[in-house]
Each structure stands twice: as structure tokens, then as C-alpha cells.
């Protein structure tokens, strides 16, 4: 089992010791650094490339937010969990994309909840890396390979374009919808447009790419646009920008 490497950053020694005590109860966590300030933390991060950072906010010289700003361009960038005695920074923590915001003293149940979220995210990272690797391999084999790698519940499937009802983007991720499943893919909608047969797949909206072979009915909609009703019962609105293109495809 590959362990999750963590660094603890807090200017108070008792707080570092308490966090170390809590983390040692989890066999998959390896604390590779426990430091008192931002500059020392930065050295540890660059040296060990940790997966996880437990970070105090109010510290001399470099604050927790200062440190986040310094490491925001790192690849891979550690997951940040802010640990503080003050609740007034919660909104700012969200702006700095911290995964969690823990108030001192941290108890065992709360840290377990945080670690479970960390495990889920790191697992998604691993799956995403596998998808990217597979996509690069398939691309190198030439354009004749048309199946789309996609993931669900930790398993990667190769999807025939003819089985796809539509693809959509949501919160920066791209999903493929078949009759019974919705699966994650590393392709963007623009990538899929290039890969698919352009006569079968239609960009109905900036967030939707629809397989016209799966459309059961086209209904007039507001402002001279349309609603696509698919064979699985899904309904997708065509944006005004793409309605003219649809009329051209249909010859209406």
C-alpha cells in the first residue's frame, strides 16, 4: 500500500505533537515533516513533494496563506488542510482552495472525516493519470482507434461512440452518458468533437455534445431554439448559437 505523505506546519510545538499523535493512528499516513514555520515548510515540500499539508494560518514571517500562494504552481501540488484556532478565516480558506478547515483542538472523528476526503481525491488523481496514459497510448496507435476510455467506480471502460447518448461538462470535468451509466473521461468536449464522426455528433450547447442517432424527438423551444429528446428520456436544450447549425443539419 502506497502511503500518503504529509507535512505538518504549525508554530506551536504542542499543536504539532497533537496532530502527529492523531495521524499516527492511520497506517496509510506517513508524516515526512513537522515544522514550525513557512520557510522551513517550503523546503520540506520541495524536498519530499508531499501529498498532504496540514497548515496553521497565523505564523511569524510566512502565514499559511502566504505559503499556499508560493506553492500554488507546484506540480504535483499538495492537498491543503488548514488547521487554526480561529473561525474567521473560513471564507478565505475557500478562496485559497483549501480542502478542509479544521478548528483546534482537532478530534479523532473530525480528522478521520478529513482523511477520507483526502483518500478519495488522491484515488481520483490516480485514475485520472491512468486515463491520461491510456489516451496518450491510444492516440499514438493512430486515428483508427475510436473507442473512448472512461472511468466509473475505479474501473476503466472503453466506450464505443455508437453507445454514447451524449457527453457533457460539469465543474471542469467531462462525462460520457450511455444508456445506463455516466462515466468520467479525460477528454474535453472539444477533443471528443474532433474524435467523433461530425455528422453524428452535434454540439447542442457549450456544455453538451449529443449523438443525433440517439435523438427520438426534436421539439421547438423558446426564442427559435429546440429541445432534443433522447431515446433514454434525457432532454437537452439547443442554445441559440447552435440552433441555426441544427437546422442546417436537418435541412429545415
Which ranges of 141-162 does DSSP label H, i.e. alpha helix? none
The contacts of residue 246 (CB under 8 Å, 6+ apart) are 202, 204, 218, 226, 238
Say yes or no: 55 and 120 in one domain: yes
Say yes or no: 158 and 245 in one domain: yes
Any domain includes 205: yes
The two counts, helices (H) then strands (E), for the chain are: 7, 15
Residue 72's pLDDT is: 85
Structural domains counted in the chain: 2
- Complete edge-to-edge strand list for the sheet that includes strand 235-237: 215-220, 226-230, 235-237
Q: Between 87 and 198, where is the model more confident?
A: 87
CA 62 to chain centre: 29
Any domain includes 200: yes
Any domain includes 111: yes
Task: Please tell me what DSSP assigns to residue 186.
Answer: S
Residue 51's pLDDT is: 93
Say yes or no: 114 and 198 in one domain: no
Instruction: Reply yes or no on whether the pLDDT at 189 is more than 60.
Output: yes
The rounded mean pLDDT for the chain is 87
Instruction: Reply yes or no on whether the pLDDT at 154 is more than 90.
Output: no
Instruction: Reply yes or no on whether the pLDDT at 81 is more than 90.
Output: yes
Instruction: Reply yes or no on whether the pLDDT at 124 is more than 60.
Output: yes
Average pLDDT over residues 28-43: 92
Residue 73's pLDDT is: 83
Average pLDDT over residues 47-60: 93
Instruction: Reply yes or no on whether the pLDDT at 248 is more than 90.
Output: no
Instruction: Reply yes or no on whether the pLDDT at 231 is more than 70.
Output: yes
Say yes or no: 97 and 24 in one domain: yes
Tell me how far CA of residue 66 lies from CA of 42, 201, 221, 250, in angstroms: 11, 46, 50, 56
Q: Cα–Cα distance between 115 and 151 in angstroms, integer?
A: 23
Say yes or no: 31 and 89 in one domain: yes
Say yes or no: 158 and 234 in one domain: yes
Say yes or no: 118 and 16 in one domain: yes
Confidence of residue 17 (pLDDT cuts 50, 70, 90): very high
The position carrying cell 478562496 is: 95
Q: Cα–Cα distance between 70 and 93 in angstroms, integer?
A: 15
Average pLDDT over residues 67-82: 89
Residue 33's pLDDT is: 94
Instruction: Reply yes or no on whether the pLDDT at 100 is more than 60.
Output: yes
Residue 110's pLDDT is: 94
Question: CA angle 205-224-172, nearest 5°?
Answer: 15
Return the CATH number at 78. 3.40.50.2300
Q: Between 76 and 43, where is the model more confident?
A: 43
Question: Nearest to residue 201, comparing CAs of 247, 249, 241?
Answer: 249
Return the CATH number at 174. 2.40.50.1020
Range of the domain at 224: 148-250
Amino acid at each position: 500500500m502506497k502511503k500518503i505523505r504529509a507535512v505538518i506546519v504549525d508554530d506551536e510545538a504542542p499543536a504539532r505533537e497533537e496532530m502527529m499523535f492523531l495521524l499516527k493512528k492511520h497506517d496509510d499516513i506517513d508524516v515526512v515533516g513537522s515544522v514550525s514555520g513557512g520557510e522551513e515548510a517550503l523546503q520540506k515540500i520541495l524536498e519530499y513533494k508531499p501529498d498532504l499539508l496540514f497548515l496553521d494560518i497565523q505564523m511569524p514571517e510566512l502565514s499559511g496563506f502566504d505559503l499556499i500562494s508560493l506553492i500554488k504552481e507546484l506540480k504535483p501540488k499538495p492537498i491543503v488542510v488548514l488547521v487554526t484556532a480561529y473561525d474567521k478565516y473560513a471564507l478565505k480558506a475557500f478562496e485559497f482552495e483549501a480542502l478542509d478547515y479544521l478548528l483546534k483542538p482537532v478530534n479523532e472523528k473530525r480528522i478521520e472525516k478529513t482523511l477520507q476526503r483526502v483518500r478519495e481525491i488522491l484515488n481520483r488523481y490516480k485514475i485520472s493519470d491512468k486515463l491520461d496514459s491510456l489516451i496518450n497510448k491510444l492516440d499514438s496507435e493512430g486515428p483508427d482507434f475510436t473507442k473512448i476510455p472512461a472511468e466509473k467506480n475505479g474501473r476503466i471502460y472503453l466506450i464505443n461512440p455508437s453507445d454514447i447518448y451524449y457527453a457533457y461538462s460539469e465543474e471542469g470535468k467531462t462525462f460520457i452518458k450511455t444508456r445506463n451509466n455516466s462515466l468520467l473521461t479525460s477528454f474535453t468536449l472539444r477533443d471528443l468533437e474532433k474524435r467523433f464522426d461530425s455528422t453524428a455528433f452535434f454540439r447542442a450547447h457549450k456544455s453538451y455534445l449529443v449523438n443525433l442517432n440517439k435523438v427520438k424527438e426534436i421539439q421547438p423551444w423558446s426564442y427559435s431554439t429546440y429541445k432534443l429528446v433522447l431515446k433514454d428520456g434525457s432532454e437537452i436544450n439547443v442554445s441559440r448559437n447552435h440552433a441555426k447549425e441544427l437546422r442546417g443539419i436537418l435541412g429545415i
